[in-house]
Amino acid sequence: MNLAKPSALETRGAKPRRTIPLALALFALVAGRAIGAPEAGEEKAGPPSVVQRLLDTPYLTDSERADIRVRHGIWTDQDLTDVARRARAAITRGAWDDPALADTKADPLDRAEALILRGQPADALQILNAIEGKTQTLRALRLIAMAQSVRGEKDAAIKTLAQLEQRVIKDRQNSAWELVEGVRGLHLKSQIEGPARGAQDFQSMMSMLARAREQLDRLCWTAPLEEAMLLAEKDNRPEAAEALEQALDLNASAAEAYYLLGRMSVDSFNFDQAEKISEKLRELAGPIDRAELEPVGTHEAGEPVAPYADMLQARLRLRQRDPQGAIAALKPTLTRFPGQLEARALEAAAIAAGFDMPGADRALAELDRLSPNTPLGYLYVGKALSEQRQYADAARYLEEATKRAPRLADAWIELGLLEVQAARDERALAALEKAEALDPFNVRAANSLKLVRDVAGFSRIESDHFIVRYRPGVDLALAREMPPILERIYARVTGDKPGGIRYPLDFKTVIELMPDHQWFSVRITGMPKVHTMAAATGPLIAMEAPRLGEKNTVGAYDWARVVQHEFTHTVTLARTSNRLPHWFTEASAVYLEDAPRDWTYIQILARAYETDTLFDLDDINIAFTRPKKPSDRSQAYGQGAWMYEYIVRKYGPEAPLKLMDRYAAGDREPEAFQTVLGVSREQFLDEFKAWAGEQLIEWGMRPKPGQPELLTLLEEWRTKLGEGHEEDPPTIEVVDAWLKDYPDHADLLEVAVKLRVTGNKNKASPEMIPLIEAFSAARPGDPTPHKLLAALFLDESSPAHDAAKAIPHLEFLDAREQNSASLSIQLARLYAEQGQWDRAWAKAIRACTVAPYEASNREFAATIAIKRGDFDAAKWQLEALQILEPDRPIHAQRLKALEDLKAKQK
């Protein structure tokens, strides 16, 4: 799949581009930035060398040097004693409520811009209109149009921007800063009425910006900043990051640049980075007064707010499925600036993401009061609902956004991407083609449009409840095998066995077998990189083909188990309209994998229990999206499934379903727990922990009653040895003595086994068998004893060699293996040696499921099928080989030989 990759020559002029990975670029931009005047005693970072050379120019006056320092975000306390400079610095650092911006000594354009940013466009127009009659700068025209646009005066804004456009075309600008203002005005014009000339408008703006930074003033940091804004609008994140780096190199206090960087971080799921940028924005907007500075202007009391930080936090919380957190994050900004449109739109989105649609509509009505007919709120609400998989409602709001701004590409792009995820490809095609006509440079739209067009050429196989779509070619080998497995999954997940959701679907689920990771990622997000191999978007489950390849990221995997997990999401979403706590959503899916508990989960859960760090019912949701340590996300998955199992065991298999129905009805978790389980969340957690402690004893992860902790035994033994033995490891003799008193102590058995194995070149020996078996019985979830015994019994040089005895241990390990078919093949061979052909066949088929593109697995399965007299199954595998290796004539020869053999058997 050849994805959209706009080149630097198309976008940022002819300057050679440095290739910078986005994550690296973001990290570099945040780390170590100077943000203005330092605290007392703090060593301040120096200005960029190019700026310093300018400051060192001997003919500059002190006033001119001060202006340069302020322009490049490296002001001193003395610089900010001047009201105009302080106001200019306030705009730069995102401190919209700095008192200097209310002072008439400040530049009226700075004062007007602050008022527009605050959401006070009428007041801004009063200031701007007062300077009419004078020659209006391009910045003044841009600000007038901005104020008019915010007030909903679209026609007036377009008229003002037409004047600006004529000035840009007619007058050759010799100031880089003023030329950038002209481009910002043209950008605003394209946002209000859509691009008049499509791609030509974008290229023209980028050319002007290239002239500003390359020919007029290489120190003009607003040029690369505006480039970054244009590129980010096209979802061209790598080049936008490069432009932002250049902007922040020239002004490390530019809050607008950091805010864009933070939004890109959120969009890239780089939440840690977004948090750091939010802190930076809050620091930038913080107070800068020092004791020696004179008070400036008059200003209402209260702590400074950081609007960019608050809005970035809101975006972050929305992406993390925490709408209440988003609303809380916006409160300081909306309290101080109730007319701020972007914050109001984000608030409406957060309310909608909390499934309060009447509340969202009221918030949108307030937006319309502030800015009549604005599409912004509908765009944000539609996008938030789409991320919550509320496709019908999301489409309704996004369609309204397209009606309000039919030439606004953003709304069409989001609508098209929504339809892609909802698997409504005809609607997606129509919306994305409209978006492409308006914005041919948008990377996500171009990628998704290409995908929709390419997927239209996919073949399909349909069963009672599924539609499997795949690219013609080798993927047919797997696709044709999927329907019967999928139907078994359907019966389990929608059925009434314990854990089943008991909710038959009234639609067929689409399973798209994507040939590589890029295809899969674009289907899910519109961009070519997502860190998983399968995902459900509701009626669609996309999965990366389980094979090795240059563009494949995971290789072989147990796709049936993964799809069973994802299909559970599809069913619970349908039953509840996706109104589930995050932990409960994942818990039901993990529980319904019907797989043994992962050993990693067991260890993490045991450690969390012993250290009293099991999550409460709030923190577990946060752990999925904002993990504080590397193990948090795994703990959240494991603990969630553990709590789900507890609910099924204690309250019955109906209880999770009743909880789902309460969530679907709009109940919050506290009310749902009280209604269905009869306990508060706190009581539930206390009772769960008590049960969990008993479970850990059964798992051999805690000592049984009457058994001491291993650490206690060690401390007592070392104390007897005396000083200097505090770190001595126990000997085999010491551990064996303890085992006489506590023969089924799991920790002691583990130490006893490890000491013996380590002393025997990391291998088990026949005399260790009883001890290893005792260890396995004491800690049934640990794979270690099974690995040791399987290796011992398979070792032909060992007196204990007995391949049949290895089988149960290999079965234990194979049941937990998700990324390799080797154990299945090994078991199939062992069963075949014993003449157990049905069991050999079952394992051969599992190997072909986990690694369906491995020709050797297919050949082996065909051999087993022939041995058990199942010629049709053998034919199936040989046909799969023809699909996988169409250029090898031997497969056709084998099929002919099979037909001959089959004829002889009749």
Q: Quick one: DSSP state of residue 514? A: E
Q: How far apart are CA 493 and CA 491, in angstroms?
A: 6
> Is the pLDDT score of 105 beyond 80?
yes
Residue among 72, 109, 117, 84 nearest 308 (CA)? 117
Count other Cβ atoms within 10 Å, centred on residue 81.
15
Which pLDDT score, from 0 to 100, does residue 27 have?
41
Q: How far apart are CA 182 and CA 193, in angstroms?
A: 17
State the DSSP H helix or E strand holding residue 510, giving kind and residue range, or none if neither. Answer: strand 509-514
> Is the pLDDT score of 646 beyond 90?
yes
Q: How far are the Cα atoms of 539, 664, 784 from residue 512, in angstroms, in the given order? A: 11, 28, 37
Which pLDDT score, from 0 to 100, does residue 764 have?
96
3-state secondary structure of 318: helix
Burial of 91 (0-12, 13-18, 19+ CB in 10 A): buried
Q: How far apart are CA 131 and CA 129, in angstroms?
A: 5
| 160-164, 199-203, 801-805: least confident range | 199-203
* Mean pLDDT in residue range 396-405: 95
CB 782 within 8 A of CB 597: no
Stronger pLDDT, 555 or 845, i.e. the higher one: 845
CB 882 within 8 A of CB 898: no
Q: How far apart are CA 554 and CA 853, in angstroms?
A: 13
Which pLDDT score, from 0 to 100, does residue 520 have?
65
**pLDDT tens digits for range 25-52:** 444 444 444 333 334 344 444 566 788 8
> Is the pLDDT score of 5 beyond 60?
no
Q: How far are the Cα atoms of 341, 521, 525, 821 from residue 515, in angstroms, in the given order? A: 43, 11, 16, 20
| pTM of the complete model beyond 0.95 | no
Structure tokens at 115: 């008022």
Q: Quick one: DSSP state of residue 783? A: S
**Where do runs of H (alpha helix) occur along 582-631?**
582-591, 599-610, 619-625
Residue among 869, 888, 866 nearest 877 (CA)? 866
Residue among 458, 454, 459, 434 nearest 445 (CA)? 434
SS3 for 201-246, per residue? HHHHHHHHHHHHHHHHCCCCCHHHHHHHHHHHHCCCHHHHHHHHHH
Which pLDDT score, from 0 to 100, does residue 4 have?
55
* Mean pLDDT in residue range 885-901: 92
Q: How far apart are CA 408 and CA 189, in angstroms?
A: 11
Which pLDDT score, from 0 to 100, does residue 533 have?
61
> Is the pLDDT score of 19 beyond 80?
no
Residue 21's pLDDT band, with cuts at 50, 70 and 90, is very low
Which range has highest mean pLDDT (163-172, 620-629, 808-817)? 808-817
Structure tokens at 224: 């690369």
CB 818 within 8 A of CB 789: no
CB 298 within 8 A of CB 79: no
Q: Quick one: DSSP state of residue 102? A: G
| 42-56, 168-182, 370-384: least confident range | 42-56
**Which strands, in side-by-side order, build the sheet including 534-536?**
459-462, 466-470, 509-514, 540-544, 534-536
Break the chain down into helix, strand, coil percent, rounded to 5. Answer: 65, 5, 35
> Is the pLDDT score of 808 beyond 90?
yes
> Is the pLDDT score of 377 beyond 60?
yes
Structure tokens at 274: 């977004």
Whose tokens are 């061979």? That residue is 829
Q: How far apart are CA 817 and CA 783, in angstroms?
A: 11
Structure tokens at 49: 């060398």
User: In the chain, how many H helices and how many E strands?
Assistant: 46, 5
Q: Quick one: DSSP state of residue 615? A: -
- Phi, psi angle pair for 834, to nearest 5°: -90, 0
Structure tokens at 408: 């606004």
Residue among 94, 103, 46, 91 nearest 69 (CA)? 46
Which pLDDT score, from 0 to 100, does residue 38 have?
37
**Where do runs of H (alpha helix) occur along 760-889?**
769-778, 784-794, 803-816, 822-833, 837-850, 855-867, 871-884
Which pLDDT score, from 0 to 100, does residue 438 have?
87
Q: Quick one: DSSP state of residue 134? A: B
Q: Which residues contact 554 (CB under 8 A, 6 or more apart)?
A: 517, 533, 544, 546, 819
Q: How far are the Cα atoms of 814, 865, 866 from residue 836, in angstroms, in the given order? A: 18, 12, 13
Q: How far apart are CA 400 and CA 402, in angstroms?
A: 5
Stronger pLDDT, 94 or 172, i.e. the higher one: 94
What is the amino acid identity at position 449? L
Q: How far apart are CA 169 and CA 172, in angstroms?
A: 7
Which range has highest mean pLDDT (36-50, 142-156, 514-528)? 142-156
Whose tokens are 């400074």? That residue is 304
Residue 604's pLDDT band, with cuts at 50, 70 and 90, is very high
Which pLDDT score, from 0 to 100, does residue 302 have?
59
Count other Cβ atoms within 10 Å, centred on residue 160.
25
Residue 727's pLDDT band, with cuts at 50, 70 and 90, is confident
Residue among 811, 814, 772 nearest 789 (CA)? 772
CB 262 within 8 A of CB 248: no
Residue 554's pLDDT band, with cuts at 50, 70 and 90, is confident
Sign of CA dihedral 689, 695, 700, 704: positive
> Is the pLDDT score of 150 beyond 50?
yes
State the average pLDDT for the chain: 89
The count of C-alpha atoms lying within 13 angstroms of the C-alpha of 693, restricted to the half-sphere facing its C-beta, is: 11
Q: How far apart are CA 233 and CA 676, in angstroms?
A: 47
SS3 for 651-713, per residue? HCCHHHHHHHHHHHCCCCHHHHHHHHCCCCHHHHHHHHHHHHHHHHHHCCCCCCCCCCCHHHH
Give the strand pairing for 540-544 and 509-514.
Answer: parallel
- Phi, psi angle pair for 745, to nearest 5°: -80, 115
> Is the pLDDT score of 425 beyond 50?
yes
Which pLDDT score, from 0 to 100, does residue 289 have?
54
Which pLDDT score, from 0 to 100, does residue 293 have?
38
Q: How far apart are the first and last CA of the chain?
A: 48
State the DSSP H helix or E strand holding residue 544, giving kind and residue range, or none if neither. Answer: strand 540-544
Residue among 442, 408, 414 nearest 427 (CA)? 414
Burial of 621 (0-12, 13-18, 19+ CB in 10 A): buried
3-state secondary structure of 512: strand
Q: How many angstroms from the chain centroid is the CA of residue 646? A: 29
CB 22 within 8 A of CB 61: no
Residue 535's pLDDT band, with cuts at 50, 70 and 90, is confident
Q: How far apart are CA 902 and CA 850, in angstroms?
A: 29
What is the amino acid identity at position 830? L
Q: How far apart are CA 433 and CA 366, in angstroms?
A: 33
What is the amino acid identity at position 104? T
> Is the pLDDT score of 358 beyond 50?
yes
Stronger pLDDT, 424 or 328, i.e. the higher one: 328
Which pLDDT score, from 0 to 100, does residue 537 have?
81
**pLDDT tens digits for range 224-256:** 999 999 999 998 999 999 999 999 999 999 999
> Is the pLDDT score of 299 beyond 50?
no
